[in-house]
Structure 1
Amino acid sequence: MEVGLAACSNGHNKEWTPQVDELVQVLNDMGVQTALAEHIVATKDEFSGTDEERASDLMSFYKDDSIDAIYDISGGDLANGVLKYLDFDIIANSNKTFWGYSDLTTVINAIYTMTGKSSVLYQVKNMVYSEAEFQQERFRNYLAGTTEELFNLQYKFLQGTQMKGVVVGGNIRCFTKLAGTKYWPDLKGKILLLEAYGGGSGQIATLFNQLEQIGVFEQLAGVLLGTFTSYEKENLEYSVYDLLKMHISDTLPVAMTKEIGHGHDSKAIVIGKEMEFIAK
């Protein structure tokens, strides 16, 4: 198996290079060969290359028959810049799965909207972060054909008892960048996953306001809340669910999981796949 390591969002700081080297070694030890995109390390401000160059890196992996999957190892703000340069016909006809998280929410949902193909919301660099040993074991088992440890989620319902639909969304700030564009998914009957790294009550509340004002919550089959990293570290009176309740009906199912988000212990979830959640 060979994978491409891409970076469609912000370029890596030069001091992060050892992390990439370590990830390559970890994957190689699992029997996964790696090909690195040309533009990974930042060279000008936060850019590792122009939007077109980073998109070209990604498309080169889609065109390369030796590449079996694509893992994006970046995050930040710049990923939506590559969208206009992507060849979605090539992506649609490819058997490769794209993996990424955070700002790659834009690419993942655009791929689903434009091609119907699913992607995986997950940061493979979790395998070299603080929960490295745990994450490596999960990933090794996934490669061996056992998906439960990486993908099966523990969750609980906050409102309602079940929901079923195709999962879309991801990072709330990055997902809302797609609003009003051709890359915005059809949300009718969908389960919307929302998580965040940064943001206090004001920042999260304003994003919920935007989603309500463009009619999102009226269309959904349910909402799945992941972790809101910075928010949960602050001593705030409102919970994220408290804020969400200001914008939804009392009949819309809402579940939460501590296993999807920016935590180094986070699991993976497939965006663009139908899932069913039932209260236990």
Structure 2
Amino acid sequence: MLPKPLKHGDTVGVIAPASPPNIENYKKSIAFIESFGLSIQEGKHLKNVHGYLAGTDDERLEDLHDMFADDSIKGIIFAGGGYGTARIAHRLDYELIKKNPKIFWGYSDLTYLHTAIRQETGLVTFHGPMLASDVGKEDFHPLSKKQFNQLFEPTFLVYDESIAPLEVIAEGKAEGEIVGGNLTLIASSLGGQYELDTKGKLLLIEDVDEEPYRIDGYLAQLMHAGKLEEAAGIIVGDFNNAVPTRNPSLSLETVLDDYFRQLGKPVMKGFQIGHCQPHFAIPLGTRARLSTESKTLTIQPGVTGSSNDSESRL
């Protein structure tokens, strides 16, 4: 189920369903959103602080439901991630979301909601940079800015080495629905109601500030749960600051090789997707093709409407 594209004059809702966002960075991001001809409607509880949460569970849930229920809101863009979405996933009104499909854009802790909403409703959502966490910072990259263009018209995305060097861990070609996101959140979903389904799918993983031994542990969880074996291919996004503080330590490269080199399906790393700049935004739930021969990842559009047959690069 694809959401409708945005157009000039539309209003987008901004909420914080996880941790409190940096308000100064958020304020700096507003002009960027307005540059697309969009207006912003803030959630009532956007600036609330409840310990490490952006308001109570009830408040954050209310903001999310309000944005889906309001017909004047054409898309939902998140201020930031952090922690907290797993606390409210079981309380989402999935029938409301299914009846009011709209653009849903964010990443990091939002991985839990991406998975839950897609698997409960079929709605395609977007793994992309957030307002306070990315847009409002001085290092927000021009390529990251261009990623928002895919919300306005159907666009085939092609990621190749013109963006960043890619390294093949295991050779092959595979097609399937693209799923996943933050590795920590994927691992935390195992055994629960919203456990990520990877069967026949292209699995994206990325993370930040996790040492190699922690990444090793998460991958072991996915391996034992059959998630790596069931996947059609693996897209290794950015693992920002995966620096060991204990010595001796395995390197991140060694950990990835141990789990993926002999997996028997295409695995490629180096994608600038995640807690990085530039941050290449992608729809989750659309079909994609991963080829280690051409070193490309091609992804179908994430919004409705007719698109050109030729693949276009953002």
Q: Normalization by structure 1: what TM-score?
A: 0.89
Aligned to 2:302: none
Aligned to 1:108: 114
User: Secondary structure in 1 aligned to 2:238?
Assistant: strand
Give the counterpart letter for 2:275 in structure 1: H
Distance across 2 between alignment mates of 1:188 and 1:141: 30
Cα 1:131/1:138, change in 2 over 3 Å: farther
Choose which of 93, 98, 108 in structure 2 pairs with 1:92: 98
Please state if 1:169 is matched with 2:180: yes
Paired position in structure 1 for 2:282: 269
Q: What is the alpha-carbon distance in structure 1 between the residues aligned to residue 274 and residue 144 of structure 2?
A: 18
* 1:144-183 pair list within 5 angstroms: 145=153, 147=155, 151-154=157-160, 155-183=166-194
User: 1:192-243, CA deviations, whole angstroms, 9 ceiling, x for partnerless residues?
Assistant: 1110111111111111111111121121101110010011698997443431
The CA distance in 2 between the partners of 1:170 and 1:140, in whole Å, is 18
Q: For the Cα contact (< 8 Å) 1:30–1:140, is it kept in 2?
A: no
User: Is residue 2:258 matched to residue 1:252?
Assistant: no
Alignment of 1:176-195 (within 5 A): 176-195=187-206
Q: How far off its partner does 1:191 sit? A: 1.1
Residue 103 (structure 1) shift = 0.6
For each residue in 1:127-174, what CA deviation from the matched residue of structure 2 results, as whole angstroms up to 9, or x when unmatched? 3223336157515644664846xx532244321121211111101001
Alpha-carbon distance, 1:61 to partner? 0.5
Aligned 8 A contact 1:73 1:123 in 2: no
Matched-pair contact (CA < 8 Å) for 2:216–2:255: yes
Identify the match of residue 8 of structure 1 among 17, 20, 24: 17
Corresponding residue to 1:200 among 211, 226, 233: 211
Supply the AA of the counterpart residue of 1:245: D
Distance 1:153 1:131, change over 3 A: farther
- Of residues 232, 238, 258, the one that matches 1:227 is 238
SS where residue 95 of structure 1 aligns? coil
Matches within 5 A, 1:73-92: 73-92=79-98
- For the structure 1 residues 237 and 258, does the alpha-carbon distance in structure 2 shift closer, same or farther, using more than 3 Å as the test? farther
- TM superposition shift of 1:261: 1.1
Q: Which deviates more, 90-99 or 221-230?
A: 90-99
Name the Cα RMSD after superposition.
Answer: 2.3
Gaps of 5+ in 2: 1-9, 161-165, 295-314
Gaps of 5+ in 1: none
Identity %: 26
Q: Check the 8 A contact 1:11/1:39 in 2, yes or no.
A: no
In structure 1, what residue type is equivalent to 2:33? L
More helix by share: 1
Looking at both structures, which has the greater relative contact order when contacts are Cα pairs under 8 Å and sequence separation is at least 6?
A: 2
Normalising by structure 2, report the TM-score: 0.80
Distance (Å, rounded) in 1 between the aligned partners of 2:95 and 2:49: 31
2:67 to 61, 67, 79: 61
Q: Tell me which moved more, 237-246 or 114-123.
A: 237-246
1:232 and 1:37 map into 2 onto residues whose CA distance is 36
> How far apart, in 2, do the equivalents of 1:137 and 1:166 lie?
25
User: Which residue is 2:139 aligned to?
Assistant: 131
Q: Quote the offset at 1:275 in angstroms.
A: 0.3
Distance in 1, matches of 2:148 and 2:285, equals 24
Kindly state the Cα deviation for residue 122 of structure 1 after the two structures are TM-superposed.
0.8
